[in-house]
Amino acid sequence: MTAFKRFIASTLIVATTLMGLPMTAQASIVSTETALQSTDSAAQRERVSTFLMRTDVQSALQSHGVTSESAVERVKAMSDDEVAQLAGRIDQAPAGGDILGILFTVFIILLITDILGLTKVFPFTRSMR
């Protein structure tokens, strides 16, 4: 029992000594561009999600075997750069025009996430995991 008490006392002495050391913290100034980028990213995600909720887009996705809910979940899982690229393609597409290119981009992103094992939408893919 005395060995156990010594161990506890030694541990408490070390912990109390370490609590007295100064803690370091790092902070930096956030630029306006960085702050605007985060709000811009949220707006781009909303734009892509709204695009995926259109009936013509949903019917095209369903023809490829993808539900609109899983597509929206994938958009939420994308990085900010991927969402910005996809939103840029939506903005560049003419109204009612080049929807095939956008759907192809969504299909490729879904296929890549299936191959990486992040999701399981397509039955013909095998996960790398």
Which residues of the chain fall below pLDDT 50? Answer: none
Tell me if 10 is assigned to some domain.
no
Tell me if 123 is assigned to some domain.
yes
Tell me if 30 is assigned to some domain.
no
Cβ contact 127:116 at 8 Å: yes
Instruction: Please tell me the predicted confidence (pLDDT) of residue 95.
Output: 55
| Domain count for the chain | 1
Contacts of 15-22 with CB under 8 Å at 24 or more apart are none
Tell me if 44 is assigned to some domain.
yes
Q: What are phi and psi of 96, to 5 degrees?
A: 70, 10
Tell me which residue range forms the domain holding 115.
Answer: 38-129
Tell me if 8 is assigned to some domain.
no
Tell me if 14 is assigned to some domain.
no
Instruction: Please tell me the predicted confidence (pLDDT) of residue 122.
Output: 74
Instruction: Please tell me the predicted confidence (pLDDT) of residue 98.
Output: 61
Tell me if 26 is assigned to some domain.
no
Cβ contact 87:109 at 8 Å: no
Tell me: the pLDDT tens digits for 50-73? Answer: 888 888 878 888 888 888 788 888
Orientation of helix 99-115 relative to helix 55-63, angle to 10°: 50
Instruction: Please tell me the predicted confidence (pLDDT) of residue 6.
Output: 92
Instruction: Please tell me the predicted confidence (pLDDT) of residue 94.
Output: 56
Instruction: Please tell me the predicted confidence (pLDDT) of residue 79.
Output: 81
Instruction: Please tell me the predicted confidence (pLDDT) of residue 119.
Output: 77
Tell me if 71 is assigned to some domain.
yes
Radius of gyration of the chain (CA): 25
- 7, two tokens: 């161990």
